[in-house]
Structure 1
Amino acid sequence: MARHLDLEEQEQLDQLKHFWNQYGNLITWVLIAVFGSFAAWNGWQYWQRHQGVQAAALYDEVDKAATAGDTARLQQAVKDIEDKFGRTAYAAQAALLDAKVFAEKGQSDQAKAALQWAATNAKDEGYQAVARLRLASLLADAKNYDEALKQLSGSFPKQFEALAADRRGDIYRLQGKNAEAKAEYTKAWQGLAGTDYRTLVEVKLTALGVDVQSLKPAESAKS
């Protein structure tokens, strides 16, 4: 009986050796890949958290400089966060704050540059949209209407589509293109249902001779 068991164990051992010789390398590399991926994921998460903490500290410096109105310190802090942490949301927020400060000080070139950076480099499409809308306003204020409309062309996230239409309407109105302005304001009015901002768009439409009441039946039919 003992010998029978020894032979059976030897046979199982031989089968195991055969299996390992055939598949051992593959199993080893699969395990390396699995554990390597796990380690890489943990490393990535750590790096992301580390980046976020450092970016937050720099953004705090941006905020303090903006509050103090120290434009030299502000520009340096914004440059630092864009260079080192340009992929974070803090960089986009810093660029928008930078633009706000310079616009309030009447330094539109610096404001436009900051907004252009955010419109081009922000990773979040919401920040990109905000930057494009604000940049279009600054360009329109400078009577650079064609460039302003370029910023408002192309797609916007759904929640910004009506605001972009309203801004296009403003620019067409400034150009004296009232038919185009009416069309854009109508899009904005339709997209801003349930918001206070819609009232302002109604005023613009009324000023162009549009009876807003006539738009309501079409809106009801649409819904």
Structure 2
Amino acid sequence: MARHLDLEEQEQLDELKHFWNKWGNAITWFLIAALGSFAAWNGWQFWQRNQAAQASVLYDEVDRAAGAGDAVRVERAFKDIKDKFGGTVYAEQAALMAAKTLAEKGQLEPAKAALQWVAADASDQGYKALARLRLASLWVESKNYDEAHKQLAGAFPKEFEALAADRRGDVYNLQGKKTEAKAEYTKAWQGLDEQTDYRMLVEVKLTALGVDVQALKPPAPAAAAASGSAKS
């Protein structure tokens, strides 16, 4: 019986040796790759957390400088975070904050530069859209309507489409192009939630251009049903 078990064990060992000789290297390399990937992933996560932590410190500096209205400190702190941690969301948020403060202080060129950076390089599509809208406003302030139109051209994320249309309407209106302004304001009015105060502002713009806003509203369900019955 003992010999029978020894033979079975020997056969199992022989099969294991054969299996390992055939697949051992592949298994070893697979494990090395898997463990290496795991280590790399952990390393990447650690690096990302470390970057975010350091970027948040510089973001706080931009925030404090903006709160104090210190344009010089704002510009310097923003440059630091952009140069060192430009790939973080903190840098994108800092750029928008810096641009707002700089514009309020009359520093339009550095404000535009900060917004152009976000519009071109931000990873967050919402921040990119917001930067384009604000940049268009600064170009309008400089009476450079062609540049404003460039920022407002092309696609916007759905939640920004109505705002972009409203801003295009503003530019056309300032250029004296009333027909184009009405068309863009109409898009904006129809795209905004009817409960928002901003929609009321667009309504005022349309009314000032002689548009009957009531005519833009879809018919009430009862009125639509009555109209359908009358036709039939």
TM-score in terms of structure 2 length: 0.91
Q: What one-letter code is carried by the residue in structure 2 that aligns with 1:204?
A: K
**How many pairs were matched up?**
221
- Report the Cα offset of residue 69 of structure 1: 2.5
Find out whether 1:169 has 2:140 as its counterpart.
no
- Report the Cα offset of residue 218 of structure 1: 6.6
Q: What one-letter code is carried by the residue in structure 2 that aligns with 1:210?
A: V
- Report the Cα offset of residue 72 of structure 1: 2.3
Change (3 A) 1:218 1:129: farther
Find out whether 1:216 has 2:217 as its counterpart.
yes
Please give the residue correspondences for 1:17-166 in structure 2 after superposition, counting only pairs within 5 Å: 17-166=17-166
After the TM superposition, which parts of structure 1 deviate over 3 Å for at least 4 consecutive aligned residues?
Answer: 218-221
- Report the Cα offset of residue 159 of structure 1: 0.7
Alpha-carbon separation, structure 2, partners of 1:50 and 1:147: 39
1:107-141 deviation line (CA, Å, top 9, x unaligned)? 21121111111111211111111110000001011
- Report the Cα offset of residue 32 of structure 1: 1.2
Change (3 A) 1:199 1:219: farther
Percent of aligned pairs sharing the same letter:
74
Q: In terms of mean alpha carbon deviation, does 210-219 or 27-36 score higher? A: 210-219
Q: Please state whether the residue corresponding to 1:143 is helix, strand or coil.
A: coil
Q: What one-letter code is carried by the residue in structure 1 that aligns with 2:212?
A: D
Q: What one-letter code is carried by the residue in structure 2 that aligns with 1:73?
A: R
Q: What one-letter code is carried by the residue in structure 1 that aligns with 2:211?
A: V
1:155-206 deviation line (CA, Å, top 9, x unaligned)? 1111111000000000001111111111110110011023211000001111
Alpha-carbon separation, structure 2, partners of 1:187 and 1:218: 18
Q: Please state whether the residue corresponding to 1:176 is helix, strand or coil.
A: coil
Q: Does structure 2 conserve the Cα–Cα contact (< 8 Å) formed by 1:190 and 1:219?
A: no
Alpha-carbon separation, structure 1, partners of 2:118 and 2:155: 16
Change (3 A) 1:35 1:114: same
- Note the residue ranges of structure 1 that are not aligned, 5 or more in a row: none
Q: Please state whether the residue corresponding to 2:184 is helix, strand or coil.
A: helix
- Note the residue ranges of structure 2 that are not aligned, 5 or more in a row: 225-232
Alpha-carbon separation, structure 2, partners of 1:49 and 1:77: 21
Alpha-carbon separation, structure 1, partners of 2:151 and 2:57: 31
Please give the residue correspondences for 1:200-215 in structure 2 after superposition, counting only pairs within 5 Å: 200-215=201-216
Q: In terms of mean alpha carbon deviation, does 177-186 or 68-77 score higher? A: 68-77
Q: Please state whether the residue corresponding to 1:217 is helix, strand or coil.
A: coil
Q: Please state whether the residue corresponding to 2:217 is helix, strand or coil.
A: helix
1:57-110 deviation line (CA, Å, top 9, x unaligned)? 011111112222322222221111001111111111111111111111112112
Q: Does structure 1 conserve the Cα–Cα contact (< 8 Å) formed by 2:71 and 2:105?
A: no
Alpha-carbon separation, structure 1, partners of 2:217 and 2:74: 48
Change (3 A) 1:115 1:218: farther
Change (3 A) 1:34 1:218: farther
Q: What one-letter code is carried by the residue in structure 1 that aligns with 2:146?
A: D
The two structures, once aligned, show a CA RMSD in angstroms of 1.5
Alpha-carbon separation, structure 2, partners of 1:41 and 1:86: 21
